[in-house]
């Protein structure tokens, strides 16, 4: 998995993120997907973060639909991962892209409003035990103004290294290069 050795700063900047595949599109199997509320998926999300913290993770890529979902508690959780030596990249609409980690050790990547990833909640863990959790908001208009915890998502999870790599590549294609 050569992408693990590639530094984030050497990722190619996309011509248009709207033309890039999303992590969800790279992972989802054919056929119907389970549907769950954000409230239901939060436990799975926290378990994945805990698994990454427990060891073996080298990089965690996480998408939020909008910067308002990058709460103080969320930052604390991901900063703990960064302090343990895991490279953490946060993607969301409304962020300012940073070319170096912030004071918490987190790298930020801004998503454009037209980017399909803006409809997604993804956590991609790279390292000894690769894992990708991908979810697509079925009510994207409420991501900004509606009842947050009752929003519904179609979701999938995989530990298939090929699919995890494809999900990571889809996200890393959105990391701009400095200069």
Which two three-digit tokens encode residue 43?
Answer: 């436990």
Q: What is the pLDDT of residue 69?
A: 86
**How many C-beta atoms surround the C-beta of residue 19 within 10 A?**
11
Q: pLDDT tens digits for 30-67? A: 678 899 999 899 999 999 988 898 878 999 999 998 89
Domain boundaries, the chain: 42-172
Side-chain-facing half-sphere of 133: CA atoms under 13 Å: 19
Cα 167 from Cα 7, distance rounded (Å): 17
Determine the topology of domain 42-172 in CATH: Endonuclease; Chain A (3.30.870)
pTM of the model: 0.83
Helices (H), the chain: 23-27, 38-54, 72-83, 142-145, 161-172
pLDDT value at position 162? 94
């Amino acid at each position: 998995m050569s992408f693990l050795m590639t530094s984030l700063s050497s990722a190619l900047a996309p011509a248009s993120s709207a033309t890039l595949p999303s992590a969800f599109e790279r992972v989802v199997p054919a056929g119907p997907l389970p549907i769950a509320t954000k409230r239901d998926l939060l436990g799975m999300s926290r378990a994945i973060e805990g698994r990454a913290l427990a060891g073996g993770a080298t990089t965690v890529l996480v998408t939020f639909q909008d910067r308002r979902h990058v709460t103080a508690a969320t930052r604390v959780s991901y900063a703990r991962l960064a302090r343990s030596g895991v490279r953490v990249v946060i993607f969301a609409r409304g962020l300012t892209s940073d070319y170096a980690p912030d004071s918490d050790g987190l790298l930020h990547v801004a998503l454009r409003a037209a980017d399909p990833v803006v409809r997604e909640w993804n956590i991609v863990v790279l390292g000894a035990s690769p894992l990708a959790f991908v979810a697509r908001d079925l009510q994207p208009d409420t991501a900004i103004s509606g009842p947050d915890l009752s929003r519904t998502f179609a979701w999938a999870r995989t530990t298939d290294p090929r699919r995890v790599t494809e999900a990571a590549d889809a996200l890393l294609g959105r990391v701009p290069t400095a200069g």
